[in-house]
Structure 1
């Protein structure tokens, strides 16, 4: 499969990106549990529409700098972790895509504890869409990106609520 390189991004690039999407959910699971679901990919086939598989690179523990490929039904994205803060922040840059939809992109997911067994999850996507999309950029954002990332956030929140104690001692 051909992968198209995106411009490498860092946390400092977020404010300079042209598009910013936001999905916020109150999750009936702890911030740690919700982070763990993302970090391990638990149930991802259930909560992420179109999810097929994840390929992790390297043998070290997952952390900042770790690279993985997320394979969805229609696209594969190579991701490099920029922040890995259990129960607080899960952030990665898209460094390559099988369909060149962006020049650069960062997903930044944060968790704020709201008491025992509850948190606020804020799922933000920051991107510079590919120049070829410019004539239809607003349409692609409204019909593809916004619903896809919002459904991921809603799906994760629902999965975490249903399985809030799985894997806990």
Structure 2
């Protein structure tokens, strides 16, 4: 699988293209965190099929790996560079089977918001490769669908 350009957590703020959504969820932060770290997580996102698959054993932390498959065609191998148990996790892409991206990183932050509720902020940072630049509208649609499916999953408007 072709390697992506090396990157780190700073890319989340400096990427040429960022997608971000904050969800106000009527569930405790611990329950949402558990949902985001369970086997097959994100399986509610239609574009991800059966969800992202962990490729590291538990307990998870910095260095944990997983693979996400998008639309059944694209596979991204991910490595976590931030892991604050119960609150935040962020990964960088290490390789991709179709070289449409130069770099990708995602950040998941879950914060309590009163009793029995939380805010979940999902940030996606990408830099397209020369081959992938014409597909920018498709990327935006895919990330938009992930956010829409997540809102539906959590019963958020």
Structure 2 equivalent of residue 153 of structure 1: 147
Q: How big is the shift at 1:17?
A: 1.9
Unpaired segments ≥5 residues, structure 1: 163-169
Q: Does residue 16 of the first structure (1) align with residue 14 of the second (2)?
A: yes
The worse-fitting range, judged by mean Cα deviation, of 47-56 and 115-124 is 47-56
1:7 & 1:98 partners in 2: Cα distance? 14
Structure 2 equivalent of residue 81 of structure 1: 80
SS in 2 for 1:52: coil
1:22 & 1:53 partners in 2: Cα distance? 19
1:132 & 1:12 partners in 2: Cα distance? 24
Q: How big is the shift at 1:114?
A: 1.1
Whether the 8 Å CA contact 1:33–1:87 is kept in 2: the answer is no
Q: How big is the shift at 1:109?
A: 1.5
Which of 28, 37, 56 is the equivalent residue of 1:30?
28
* Structure with the higher helix share, 1 or 2: 1
Which stretches of structure 1, 4 residues or more, deviate above 6 A after TM superposition?
none
Which of 46, 58, 67 is the equivalent residue of 2:65?
67
Q: How big is the shift at 1:80?
A: 0.2
Question: TM-score, normalising length from structure 2?
Answer: 0.83
Aligned residues: 154
Structure 1 equivalent of residue 125 of structure 2: 126
